[in-house]
């Protein structure tokens, strides 16, 4: 399961302390020097440095009214949109999802590519898709780690050509809100045993209540089941960077819809609140809060309400969401934080 880096309390300490010792250097494999123009094929994106990122598309029967470029979460893959694809296609949306570097079938599986490389890849992918579908609104959707990548991409000097951003439980649980015992142990282990990998799943922690989706992910050979220490450290660096990028979401930004669930066991409420507190009041950002939704909103058994809200928001970001989750979100932003 793609849950490895988000370990809570005693589970995190047990997992980190159980690692064997042995010293080596943390590894990051970013994009290489440019070799050619990026390209979009039916089954892959080719980046400027020649890296081939496998691509999956779900297309509606008629020409699409909007295009979704979808970025998966940590240890997940391009298959993460398998569950909601039919409903989104039926509504006239074309979906594209690619394996980000270090994940799925992309190069250097299991090795961290660096936050800048992930953000640059997302912007390149968006430009390629915009060229394939000229005149059609392009919405960028990111789940968990993918949401953090989009926060960076959206706030860079040359952002993607997006008509809007959908951030599903964005991974922003960085050092600002993470317990010091976890970050301290991880920093030590990153320098002692950076390439040691541990099982990604944690008993009792579930990213969705959809058991069929969980079984599909468990059987999928693209799902990473063991996570290296230095890769986890890279993810935390990305989450730090994503949180720091939030103040740069200004009024000229495309609209942003942030989706968060009350049953999220992987990104705590304090982290999401910290993100919302950093987004400027004048930014065109809206939070949709669902009390019964888990970390993977589009795979939950209650995903229909989230999908309906996303579709309505794409049609008109200014109108209230059908489910009322935006009204709930306003109340949640100032309510006492629940225990986690």
Strand 93-98 to strand 52-58: parallel, antiparallel, or no bridges (unpaired)?
antiparallel
Predicted pLDDT at 19: 44
pLDDT of residue 203: 80
Angle at 331 between CA 326 and CA 337, to 5 degrees: 120
Alpha-carbon Rg for the chain, nearest whole angstrom, is 19
Contacts of 329-332 with CB under 8 Å at 24 or more apart are 329/260, 329/286, 329/287, 329/288, 329/289, 330/287, 331/289, 332/260, 332/287, 332/289
Helices (H) and strands (E) in the chain — how many of each?
10, 11
**Pick from 127, 81, 126, 83: nearest CA to 104:** 81
Cα–Cα distance measured from residue 26 to residue 229, given in angstroms and rounded to the nearest whole number: 8
DSSP 8-state code for residue 100: P
CA distance 82 to 298: 10
- CA 25, 103, 258, 164 torsion: positive or negative? positive
Give the long-range contacts of residues 57-61, CB within 8 A, separation 24 or more.
57/94, 57/95, 57/96, 57/97, 58/85, 58/86, 58/88, 58/89, 58/94, 58/95, 59/89, 59/94, 59/95, 60/89, 60/90, 60/92, 60/93, 60/94, 61/89
- Domain coordinates in residue numbering, the chain: 9-30+50-334
Local confidence pLDDT in tens for the 340 residues of the chain: 455 444 444 444 444 444 444 457 899 999 999 999 999 999 999 999 999 999 999 999 999 999 999 999 999 999 999 999 999 999 999 999 999 999 999 999 999 999 999 999 999 999 999 999 999 999 999 999 999 999 999 999 999 999 999 999 999 999 999 999 999 999 999 999 999 998 887 788 999 999 999 999 999 999 999 999 999 999 999 999 999 999 999 999 999 999 999 999 999 999 999 999 999 999 999 999 999 999 999 999 999 999 999 999 999 999 999 999 999 999 998 888 877 6
Neighbour tally for 56: CB within 10 Å: 21
- Ranges of H-type helices in the chain: 9-17, 85-90, 115-132, 145-154, 180-192, 211-219, 229-245, 269-278, 303-315, 325-334
Q: Are 4 and 227 in contact (CB under 8 A)?
A: yes
d(CA 57, CA 43): 8
Give yes or no for a contact between 217 and 191, defined as CB atoms under 8 angstroms apart. Answer: no
Query: Which CATH architecture best describes the domain 9-30+50-334?
Result: 3-Layer(aba) Sandwich (3.40)
d(CA 162, CA 133): 12
pLDDT of residue 1: 41
């Amino acid at each position: 399961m793609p849950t490895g880096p988000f370990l809570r309390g005693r589970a995190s300490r047990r997992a980190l302390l159980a690692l064997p010792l042995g010293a080596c250097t943390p590894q990051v494999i970013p994009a290489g020097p440019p070799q050619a123009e990026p390209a979009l094929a039916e089954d892959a994106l080719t980046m400027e440095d020649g890296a081939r990122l496998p691509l999956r598309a779900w297309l509606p029967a008629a020409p699409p009214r909007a295009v979704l470029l979808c970025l998966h979460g940590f240890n997940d893959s391009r298959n993460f949109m398998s569950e909601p694809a039919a409903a989104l296609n039926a509504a006239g949306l074309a979906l594209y999802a690619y394996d980000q570097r270090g994940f799925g079938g992309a190069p250097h599986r299991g090795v961290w590519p660096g936050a800048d490389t992930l953000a640059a890849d997302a912007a390149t992918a968006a430009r390629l898709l915009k060229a394939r579908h000229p005149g059609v609104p392009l919405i960028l959707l990111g789940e968990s780690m993918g949401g953090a990548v989009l926060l960076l991409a959206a706030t860079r000097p040359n952002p993607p050509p997006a008509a809007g951003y959908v951030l599903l439980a964005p991974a922003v649980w960085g050092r600002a809100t993470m317990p010091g015992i976890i970050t301290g142990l991880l920093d030590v282990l990153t320098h002692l045993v950076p390439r040691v990998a541990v099982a990604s799943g944690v008993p009792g922690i579930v990213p969705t209540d959809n058991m069929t989706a969980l079984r599909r992910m468990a059987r999928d050979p693209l799902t990473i089941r063991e996570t290296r220490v230095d890769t986890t450290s890279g993810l935390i660096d990305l989450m730090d960077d994503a949180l720091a990028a939030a103040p740069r979401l200004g009024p000229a930004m495309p609209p942003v819809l942030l989706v968060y669930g009350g049953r999220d066991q992987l990104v705590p409420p304090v982290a999401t609140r910290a993100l919302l507190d950093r987004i400027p009041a004048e930014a065109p950002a809206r939070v949709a809060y669902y009390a019964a939704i888990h970390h993977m909103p589009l795979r939950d058994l209650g995903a229909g309400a989230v999908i309906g809200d996303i579709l309505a928001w794409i049609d008109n970001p200014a109108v209230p969401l059908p489910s009322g989750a935006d009204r709930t979100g306003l109340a949640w932003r100032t309510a006492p934080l629940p225990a986690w």
